[in-house]
Amino acid sequence: MINRGMRILRSLEVWKLGIVNYLDALKLQEKLVVDRKSHKICDILLSLQHPPTYTVGKRRTDHNLLIPQSELERVGAELHYTQRGGDITFHGPHQAILYPIISLREIGLGARSYVEKLELTMIELAAKYGVKACPGQAGETGVWVEQRRKIGAIGVRISNGITSHGLAFNINPDLTYFGHIVPCGISDKEVTSLRRETGPVLPDEEIIQEQLVSCFARNFGYSSLIWKEGTPVFSDKDDIK
């Protein structure tokens, strides 16, 4: 006999990938989404960072890139177009990125609730370091400090209830890169980082990124984490080993 009051124990695989080229991470997400839809794999969370990269969402808001594309090589950044929601943003070293490949249907979440939990994940991490962050105002996704300085961005894609793309939390990225874009299409506000808000004394970035993962797991109700390290390798048949 099933006790309906019992809490269902759910596990999450966390892949710690280090610094990964954006297109490689995109290819990996696409493969995992297909596998998750066909129930070949369980829920997976990719934890990583990118080299300097600008990405544009499916609305194709190229006008928010403030330098010619020919100048991108000079500043050491790439530009990629994606099918996620949201406007143009920057990814780079010292920014903690989480890409959840999870089934929203299995946990009974809609798109709005999913985004709210991603926001809460970053808000809780900021609070660990005494930074009071909050969701943006109407039309402003992500997480903000004093409603004026953005510390975390969100851009998601949901296909048949399976998520990809995700969140980016600024630990200590080079904020000058944000000066070459209108971040997330919002021109009258700043971008900040955990380092800028707290000062120079922070633990190792790996610790902060693991704390972000723990906040995510708690908010989404995962009872156990299965950690895996290293970048998966694609075979000729595009399988993940």
Residues 42, 134, 184, 215: which is the catalytic one?
184
**168 labelled binding-site residue:** yes
DSSP code per residue over 64-85: GB-S-GGGHHHHT-EEEE-SSS
- Annotation-wise, does 226 bind a ligand? no
**Bridge partners (DSSP) listed for residue 101:** 44
Q: How far apart are the two ends of the chain, measured CA to CA in Å?
A: 39
DSSP assignments along 116-169, one per residue: HHHHHHHHHHHHHTT--EEE-STT--SEEETTTEEEEEEEEEEETTEEEEEEEE
Three-state DSSP at 204 gives coil
Residue 86, marked binder: yes
Is there a binding annotation on residue 239?
Answer: no
Query: Any known ligand binding at 84?
Result: yes
Residues 6 or more apart from 2 whose CB is under 8 A from it? Answer: none
Confirm or deny that 166 is annotated as ligand binding: yes
Tell me whether residue 88 is annotated as binding. yes
**218 labelled ligand-binding:** no
Q: Which amino acid is at 125?
A: L
46 is in an annotated binding site: no
Q: Which among 55, 27, 53, 93 has a CA at the least distance from the CA of 232?
A: 27
Q: Is 154 annotated as a binding residue?
A: yes
| Dihedral angle sign, alpha carbons of residues 102, 103, 109, 115 | positive
The yes-or-no answer on residue 215 being catalytic is no
**Any idea which residues carry the catalytic annotation?**
184
Annotated binding site: 84-91, 153-155, 166-168
Q: Which residues are annotated as a binding site for substrate?
A: 84-91, 153-155, 166-168
